[in-house]
Structure 1
Amino acid sequence: MRRALALVALLASASAPALAAPQPGAAYGDGMVLQRGEPILISGSAAPGSTVEGMLGTDTARAMAGSDGSFTLSFPARDATLDGISLTLRDSTGETVLHDILIGDVYLCSGQSNMELTVNRALNTWNELRLSPDDGIRLLKIPNTTAPVPQTKFSEPVAWHAADADSVAEFSAACYYMGKQLRADHRDVPLGLIHSNWGGSAARAWFTPESVANMYGDEALAQLRLYQRDPLAAAQAFVPQWYDWWRANDKGREPWADSSMLDWKPIPKFSFWNEWTGTGLDTNPQANVWLRQTIDLTAQQAAGEGALAIGAIDDLDLTWVNGHPVGYTFGWGVERTYRVPAEYLHEGENEILIAANNMWDTGGFFAGPDRLSFTPAGGSAIPLGADWEYSIGTVAGVPPRAPWDANAGLGVMHNYMIAPLGPMRLKGVAWYQGEADVGQPDYDAKLRELFAGWRRQFGPQTRMLVVQLADFGARHSEPTASGWAQLRQDQLDGVAADSNAALVTAIDIGEPNDIHPANKNDLGKRLAYAAEGKAMPMPRSASFSGDNILVTFTGVEGDLQALGGPYPLGVEVCGNTQESCRWAVPTLDGQRMVIGVNDGQPVSRVRYAWSDAPIVNLYDAREIPVPGFELPVTK
């Protein structure tokens, strides 16, 4: 009997999963770069309660894993080295070893599509890739995924790669060219560059939970946590905001309660509605469009909870089943599957109603009808088919956005694309974002919260480099209001309020007809200068001096110069209204701009390059441009 029990115990132990050796955090791996001159923090996971011992080169550290298995080891600061060292993590279950780790400077490059734009889409690609091999530059690219709450792992494993033609080609061009210049200036310092970007993303999508709470309140955080637990409940909690918005814009009507009030037609074909010739959506696809389908269910199929798959809707949907909201999603490539409670279903005909919104480019069905189905509990999927109906909404504009939506959700990109980086120390962050926030208020406050949140994660030493938006859009021969110029001013104000930040303008290297300018080569060099602490031109003050206004600057090397002409272009003086703005012809006096004002009209502000796509020619002796700005004029 005793032998039988021993055999049972032996078999049980053999079938139980073996405890894994300590594992480093998601962003730590072979070939990585760790920040010089700062305590080196290595996070990871191990058996709960175990003592983890680490050895980095010849330095040792010890920590106890918490109840969730997480641990953080702290090693002393180290100097830069191009000689690879190893990291060993060990506890009673075994050890894990990482090899070829360099000590140098680590930069995170983040933002939207202009930071995401890759080297193979920038200038001089063939030569740049040919010359790219450099074992002193290591690259890490983060996959694009969102989450309503912070994660400890990325959506898929990541790995560090030395710079070569293959790894550089699909890497952020602005980031790579910054690193290339830094390596040229400091050959003895390795560079670690992290690409974590998402085209079209809003600034708030990159906030930490603390910053979300500071900007949008604890209720917003609570909605995100509810969505993590129960997307259906979260959608129903959010829907009243959507209802209020629609009623206010559609004379109190509620089409979700009675879809017969809408004018329905068969969709011309199952495709983006841009292809529906003659509907009006082919010429103006930015619209709110209702989509409708019905399915017949047996009593058995309607008796239990089902799953509704509607494929991907470009850009945003709110979906109902028999008048009950079941899901809300923003994301043009995101496939939707919504839980449908049994009490929403009935035997016979059931109505599926979608309110779809498109705010740019293509709209409506993103994939084929094979992606759309309803699956009853315990049953097979029922295709929804291609014979939908549509009705163009009379309401213009974009409905309210839920806290979890993909591109403008609160912290959703930070949670899956930044949080898993853990507590690693950074030299700096290069941030190129803002196009998605044009027309929205308080971008300077958003920068403040972004900076604060990321410094809580990566350390207070992290230098923030902000790219002021490039010139894009219509050009004007008269002073004009400009949302892009206002966003640039907010970027300037956000940087000016921070003691360890720099503004790097791209206002002269954009393309008016292309929101994604290819000249990231020069931009990268400017980012490198700012990363090194070299002063960048910034407006300081404007004040009256007799009949003149004196505009002063900081960060100017040598004298200011107007390239290609006798005076700077794009200078305005204004009173309190847009209509009062008029062109001015200034002169340059060393590092000052002098503007004569003797037209008898009121002057309270000075503007420079205040346009979506200004033509600029004001530079310092390094040919670094002066950023676009507005300054109040003091007495």
Structure 2
Amino acid sequence: MNKSKIRINTIFTVPALTAFVLIIAVFSYQNCNADVSLPALFKNNAVLQRGIKVPVWGTADPGERVTVSIKSQKATTVADTEGNWMVWLNPMDAGGPFDMKVSGNNEITVTNILIGDVWLCSGQSNMQWPVNLSMNASQEIQEADYPEIRLFTVSNKVADKPEKNVRGRWVVSAKNTVGSFSAVGYFFGRELYKELKVPIGLIHSSWGGTPIEVWTSREILESNSSFRQFITRWDRALENYNKARERYEQRLLEWETEAETARQAGEPVPPRPGAPAALQNFQQQPSCLFNGMIAPLIPYAIKGVIWYQGESNAGEARKYQKLFPAMIQDWRNRWGQGDFPFLFVQLANFMKEQTRPSEGGWAELREAQLLTFLSVPGTGMAVTIDIGDANDIHPKNKQEVGRRLALAALGVAYDKKIIYSGPIYDTMTIEGNKIRLRFKHTGSGLVSKDGEKLKGFAIAGEDRKFVWANAQIDGNTVFVWSDEIPDPVAVRYGWANNPVCNLYNKEGLPASPFRTDTK
């Protein structure tokens, strides 16, 4: 009887042991052979940039051979010692949909890929503002079925070091997907699609209420003494917080001992020590959004960038004037695509209208943006001084913002022979008691939008005390004068947080605010 039991146990134990060994072997194999993987950008419904070499990257086992194939081309590489790999696809024409296969120890098939133009949409809340909260939202959403426009929203992420991936997914533009997407980004992309008839990919990466320094790499902030203060200030706050946290944790341990002693003695438990105030607004940390929401996108091939930001830097125009061009150049350098087009929105009119000439933080920030447009090659600026809202920092007319950015794109990025900007101040000459202003981007000619006399001009003598001025169009120039100022030296236009101004070109684009006495 005992032998039978032993025999029966042996009969059933051998296959069980074999299965166990196989399970262990498979488990060990899986742990030793990591699957080839792709970052979120290379997933179903993606758009790849046409006309230039396209990098595709991911992770695998160190030394693993990885092959990427799409259309008629194939590229192979070997993962490095850390498991990272990258291949470069040759330039492709617009088209699709296509499948892309990535194979190593396993195989991934990415479906419904289009080849077209990819634009990164970044900035703060006016870029983040969604379609479903914009003007005519219901109608816009109902008409949003564009199978060749693809949308990717980067999830908000703060990081103290550059990340390698983002959370997000590509979706096809449709009535059930577009509502939560960036309105400026969507309307911009829609205008381009209607004009170019090629697939458009929009990568939206923005966060409301954020200053420019959080979108700028730490290397750039550390490279200039005037920028370095942002890092120093934050690092000091973080150091103080960490010290306070350590003191709190030590005091908490002591309190737990004291509390237990009191309980055992039947005495009142002493008050629990309070935690230190949390370090607020981690999204204000220098470089944190560059690290978490821009760096992981590099070097995904793009056509260019649209940018809507600056409200959080109003009052810091001098800093912005230096940092904005530096950030643009840094992004371009890191992408390695040369001076790709970088288009941005000049701050809209906002707050109470000013009844007399005066200074304004928003006016100075607009000037910093204007100077960037004038000094940095490959940039375009959408002037929005006429479509803001005095009572709302988030004006709802995002359609016109997108349209003006698209005009800038057609002129700057696509070399279309169009008028894509309103009048931009160029030079001045003093002629007796008048100042003559000359402009670029006058298009078919200068006009007063409403047919009334020109508004928004102020003039001053040597004392720089500005008064409202008369202004008259003379060809592609404007004469400015005031009987109060017999010897004028400087003119300002639209120089207020919310100016009343009406100089346009005949193409219907507003002149940028400016001053001739830039400091």
TM-score by length of 2: 0.84
Hey, what does 1:446 align to over in structure 2?
323
The CA deviation string for residues 576-632 of structure 1, in whole angstroms up to 9 with x for no partner, is 666x11111111122221223664555443211011111221111111111111124
CA RMSD in angstroms comes to: 3.4
Q: Which runs of 4+ in 1 moved over 6 A?
A: 3-9, 217-224, 234-237, 382-385
Q: Secondary structure at the match of 2:121?
A: strand
- Tell me, in whole angstroms, the C-alpha distance in 2 between the residues paired with 1:569 and 1:178: 30
1:349–1:627 distance in 2 versus 1, CA, 3 Å: farther
Matched, 1:625 2:510: yes
1:56–1:624 distance in 2 versus 1, CA, 3 Å: same
Q: Secondary structure at the match of 1:88?
A: strand
- Tell me, in whole angstroms, the C-alpha distance in 1 between the residues paired with 2:468 and 2:270: 63
Q: Percent identity?
A: 29
Hey, what does 2:457 align to over in structure 1?
571
1:61–1:570 distance in 2 versus 1, CA, 3 Å: same
CA contact 1:451–1:464 (8 Å) conserved in 2: yes
What are the equivalent positions in structure 2 for 1:59-208 lying under 5 Å apart?
Answer: 59-81=73-95, 83-91=96-104, 93-154=105-166, 156=167, 158-187=168-197, 189-208=198-217
The CA deviation string for residues 435-479 of structure 1, in whole angstroms up to 9 with x for no partner, is 000111321222112211221233224211110001111211110
What are the equivalent positions in structure 2 for 1:325-340 lying under 5 Å apart?
Answer: 325-326=244-245, 340=248
Deviates more, 1:467-476 or 1:545-554: 545-554
Match among 321, 329, 332 for residue 455 of structure 1: 332
Q: Secondary structure at the match of 1:136?
A: strand
How far the C-alpha of 1:573 sits from its partner, in A, is: 1.8
What are the equivalent positions in structure 2 for 1:291-370 lying under 5 Å apart?
Answer: 325-326=244-245, 340-342=248-250, 346-347=254-255
The CA deviation string for residues 232-291 of structure 1, in whole angstroms up to 9 with x for no partner, is xx667743xxxxxxxxxxxxxxxxxxxxxxxxxxxxxxxxxxxxxxxxxxxxxxxxxxxx
Which AA in structure 2 matches 1:167?
T
Hey, what does 1:411 align to over in structure 2?
287
1:166–1:71 distance in 2 versus 1, CA, 3 Å: same
Match among 295, 298, 307 for residue 422 of structure 1: 298
TM-score by length of 1: 0.70
- Tell me, in whole angstroms, the C-alpha distance in 1 between the residues paired with 2:118 and 2:313: 27
Match among 537, 551, 569 for residue 437 of structure 2: 551
- Tell me, in whole angstroms, the C-alpha distance in 1 between the residues paired with 2:446 and 2:164: 49
Q: Secondary structure at the match of 1:481?
A: coil
- Tell me, in whole angstroms, the C-alpha distance in 2 between the residues paired with 1:124 and 1:383: 60
Hey, what does 2:34 align to over in structure 1?
20
How far the C-alpha of 1:561 sits from its partner, in A, is: 0.6
Structure with max Cα Rg: 2
How far the C-alpha of 1:110 sits from its partner, in A, is: 0.8
Which AA in structure 1 matches 2:122?
S
Which AA in structure 1 matches 2:321?
D
1:112–1:543 distance in 2 versus 1, CA, 3 Å: same
What are the equivalent positions in structure 2 for 1:482-501 lying under 5 Å apart?
Answer: 482-501=360-379
- Tell me, in whole angstroms, the C-alpha distance in 1 between the residues paired with 2:448 and 2:346: 20
Gaps of 5+ in 2: 1-13, 259-268, 412-417
Hey, what does 2:57 align to over in structure 1?
43
Gaps of 5+ in 1: 228-233, 240-317, 327-337, 351-381, 390-398
- Tell me, in whole angstroms, the C-alpha distance in 1 between the residues paired with 2:71 and 2:325: 37
- Tell me, in whole angstroms, the C-alpha distance in 2 between the residues paired with 1:495 and 1:223: 30
How far the C-alpha of 1:384 sits from its partner, in A, is: 8.8
The CA deviation string for residues 111-163 of structure 1, in whole angstroms up to 9 with x for no partner, is 11111111111111111111110101000011112111110122x3x211111
Hey, what does 1:58 align to over in structure 2?
72
CA contact 1:213–1:221 (8 Å) conserved in 2: no
Match among 435, 438, 446 for residue 560 of structure 1: 446
CA contact 2:227–2:323 (8 Å) conserved in 1: no
Q: Secondary structure at the match of 2:26?
A: helix
- Tell me, in whole angstroms, the C-alpha distance in 2 between the residues paired with 1:601 and 1:344: 74
The CA deviation string for residues 73-93 of structure 1, in whole angstroms up to 9 with x for no partner, is 111111111x211222122x1
1:222–1:554 distance in 2 versus 1, CA, 3 Å: closer
CA contact 2:460–2:490 (8 Å) conserved in 1: yes
How far the C-alpha of 1:421 sits from its partner, in A, is: 1.4
1:29–1:461 distance in 2 versus 1, CA, 3 Å: farther
How far the C-alpha of 1:217 sits from its partner, in A, is: 8.7
Which AA in structure 1 matches 2:174?
D
1:236–1:162 distance in 2 versus 1, CA, 3 Å: closer
Hey, what does 2:468 align to over in structure 1?
583
CA contact 2:222–2:231 (8 Å) conserved in 1: no
How far the C-alpha of 1:7 sits from its partner, in A, is: 9.2
How far the C-alpha of 1:64 sits from its partner, in A, is: 2.5
1:79–1:507 distance in 2 versus 1, CA, 3 Å: same
- Tell me, in whole angstroms, the C-alpha distance in 1 between the residues paired with 2:439 and 2:359: 24
Deviates more, 1:600-609 or 1:612-621: 600-609
- Tell me, in whole angstroms, the C-alpha distance in 2 between the residues paired with 1:426 and 1:615: 38
1:236–1:544 distance in 2 versus 1, CA, 3 Å: closer
The CA deviation string for residues 399-435 of structure 1, in whole angstroms up to 9 with x for no partner, is 9x99x95232211111111122131121111111000
How far the C-alpha of 1:203 sits from its partner, in A, is: 0.7
CA contact 1:552–1:591 (8 Å) conserved in 2: yes
CA contact 1:22–1:45 (8 Å) conserved in 2: yes
CA contact 2:215–2:290 (8 Å) conserved in 1: yes
How far the C-alpha of 1:536 sits from its partner, in A, is: 1.2
- Tell me, in whole angstroms, the C-alpha distance in 1 between the residues paired with 2:41 and 2:463: 51
How far the C-alpha of 1:530 sits from its partner, in A, is: 0.3
Q: Secondary structure at the match of 2:355?
A: coil
- Tell me, in whole angstroms, the C-alpha distance in 1 between the residues paired with 2:238 and 2:94: 52
1:220–1:490 distance in 2 versus 1, CA, 3 Å: closer
Q: How many residues align?
A: 482
Match among 490, 493, 496 for residue 608 of structure 1: 493
CA contact 2:75–2:88 (8 Å) conserved in 1: yes
Q: Secondary structure at the match of 2:421?
A: coil
1:388–1:139 distance in 2 versus 1, CA, 3 Å: same
Matched, 1:523 2:442: no
Q: Secondary structure at the match of 2:223?
A: helix
CA contact 2:231–2:286 (8 Å) conserved in 1: no
The CA deviation string for residues 60-111 of structure 1, in whole angstroms up to 9 with x for no partner, is 2222222222222111111111x211222122x1221111111111111111
